Chain A
Amino acid sequence: QTEKREATEETVTIVFKHGKLAGGPEALRAILARFEAENPDIKVKDEVLPASTDEQHQFYVINLEAGSPEFDVLSMDVIWVEEFARAGWLRPLDGIFPPEEREDFFAGPISAVTYQGSVYAIPWYIDAGLLYYRKDLLEKYSMPVPRTWQELVSTAKLIMEKEKDIYGFIWQGKQYEGLVCNVMEYMWSRGGGLIDEDGRFNALKKENIEALQFIYDLIHTYRVSPPLVTTAMEETTRHIFGSGRAIFMRNWPYAWKIFEREGSAVKGKVGVTVLPAFEGYSSAATLGGWQLGVNRYSPHPEAAERLVRYLTSYEVQKEMSIKMGYRPPRRSLYEDEELRRAQPFIVELYPVFERARPRPETPYYMMITQVLQPEFSAAITGLKSPEEALRSIQRQVEYILKLEER
């Protein structure tokens, strides 16, 4: 109302918080500059958050809890939106993100931004776990791309015996959020999971035990995964794979572009596919990606909403895909000719994203994951048996969820 008029009279500055983006600060700056050109009454200041998502989360929590009006637009991991919405820190965006438009988005991210019927953020870009493999090696030993975990193990073992100094399968096993993503993929692809049909939290079940056991076996029984995976994060594994020292790798899509760069040791030798599943079950990938929302305490909500709209618009998402390699959450973009030409790789991932599953959708996810991370870590390093770990998870999470009851 009056704000609109004010906005036209003086420029407002809105602050946009986000994690560091691939391609350096300039690419985003260019996009924002265009936004500023289109909206002369708005200036955008973008501020980069720390590397680790845990620290980013801590930043938001501490500031939002204190009602900080110091930033307007925030980028959020999929697992935070419900928590922030439940805490009442986000502005509902139903008005600028109508149900019709949501149709065009993948189901996973939409469900992640929806809390009690309203949307609190708009998906910005999307991620999901993938299997990277060495095309050249599989061809050399004429092995097919594995469709099941067991196949992956046997293929890896076979090649490892022939090739010297090569790891079989590397993934992210350090105690952090990435580990949860990895473990969930095994559980889902075994028919398990943490939340039952009725929405109850139920970790302790046969499928989950078997999945965890399998992960443990990857390292300690089949020995296709080196022990270093228990401390590896994305870049650790990407470096190893990128220097040609591994056959298979689980990672996010970002790695592809790096492998295909000039001078890469594996340029042209890398293939990408959906993650394997257990025999008789279907493959699953953990949904990742970032959403944009508006701070409830923002002094300029209207301007902030405009920025969110802009950044999640068809055009910007397309540009970010083409120029920076980010995967758009809009299905229709995968039909876009320009994008198909520029990033054929992204387009191929469509089926993966279609099937990507969100981690447990609960406002308490961050507390729960603090339980999951160490317990999973303990299970894959053999400090605890899978059953012990899952039992412990169940007990602790129940104590957390008791908060809800009053």
Chain B
Amino acid sequence: MTKVELKGIRKSFDGTEVIKGVDLLIEKGEFFTFLGPSGCGKSTLLNIVAGLEEPTTGRIYFDDRDVTDLPPPQRDVAMVFQSYALYPHMSVFENIAFPLRVRKESHHVVEEEVRKVAALVGLERHLAKRPSQLSGGERQRVALGRAIVRRPRVFLMDEPLSNLDARLRITMRTELKRLHRELSITTIYVTHDQEEAMSLSDRVAVFHGGRIQQCGPAIELYRRPANLFVARFIGSPPMNVMEARLVSRMPPVVDVKGIRVELARDREFKDRMLAGIRPEDVELSSTPSPSMVEAVVDVAEPLGVYQLVEIVYNGSRLMVRTELEDIRAGQRVYFKLIPERIHLFDPQTERRL
């Protein structure tokens, strides 16, 4: 188990800065995720950790040892790519054995290790096949096997699940999680899928524009997003964001597009704010009630256990998630905001208040 530390990492390609200063401490055995939209520099940072790219400035430490100038092989990391990067001309066995062969391990060791790993990832029956003869999930497993076989100090995974179909992704997710528990190797995982990040990670760092926006346990990011970007990025469907005005300080009451809500006193406020309301944090009802506001359903999308409903009130639209089953487009409904679940942001800095 290795502790990974990044200090002041910056990286420019041809004059444009892609990573704009990253400091991170990843604990021993942690499952740590870089989450962010496409092009935000996640892969670049991962490659820097692997030693495939050199940072423009900044240092990388593995267990307090500076590895910034070490080439990839000497860092003893293993990497799994989105495209799996399986060697198409080698059998599954040879693919898994490759890192050992490069290290010139004896035949005996190779044979034994590969079999052990193959059993671990459930590929015993496929060792003789070529990657092209495998299904997506099996290929994925080969890539994992090849990473595991080296017993590296750190696992690096760059969107390893995003080539799989939705269903398989869920299965593999669970498997990844189980593997990590069994091997306890420090893992850095890159994804742009917030659900994946939340379901897998001990901690998540949300990236945007080359900077870390927030870093912490997934549930923390969901509950207390540090800024508007994180708020919108985490949670599906995304948070509704609306303008809010402070109408009274004592007790604190905000007006969200005509709805007045009294908030807890220990919060910070500004005169004009942005209110973030998750679709799941709106209470909906098909019968009127005095504490509730009337609205009309514009679009209703039934999704099994729950429905996504877009309601219109006062000219504003609000996405609501409800388990009520009898909601139809055009219908009149009643809703209420849950005060403690309203997130407030500074409209200038977009920071959480």
Q: Is chain B in direct contact with chain A in the complex (CB below 8 A)?
A: no
